[in-house]
Amino acid sequence: MLQTPHQSPQATVVPVQRTSSREQTGPWHSEAVCRRDEAGLFFAPSKEPTAARLSREQAAKRVCARCPVLVECREHALLQPEPYGVWGGLTAAERRVMLARRRRHDAELGQPAQVSRIA
């Protein structure tokens, strides 16, 4: 998960992230399972067939499921927001859905309750 989408799946690098240096050195980065050996699973190669993408994403999610920092990784990806790859067990599309739900929920909490009028 910690490689850029334009690199070969075999390369393992930490991408330039849009976070403060304090966040980048946080303990969750060093504990991430994806830093070890499965980095190619987390980003799609260009022109990846749909069946291959779905299979790769499922394999990445299995890695995430056993990661001790899944929640921190997911929150990072939602707060940034990370536009590519599997982060915290969610694909980019799943993160967009989650963010939309959060926005709706926040908007509902921010609106005053509607009072029904009986005439």
Binding residues for [4Fe-4S] cluster, by number, are 34, 64, 67, 73
Indicate the annotated binding residues. 34, 64, 67, 73
Which residues does 51 contact at the CB level (< 8 Å), separation at least 6? none
- Supply φ then ψ for residue 57, to 5 degrees: -65, -40
C-alpha–C-alpha distance, residues 4 and 14, integer Å: 8
DSSP sequence for 11-72? ---PPP-SS-HHHHTSHHHHH-GGGTS-GGGSSPPTT--HHHHHHHHHHHHHHHHT-TTHHH
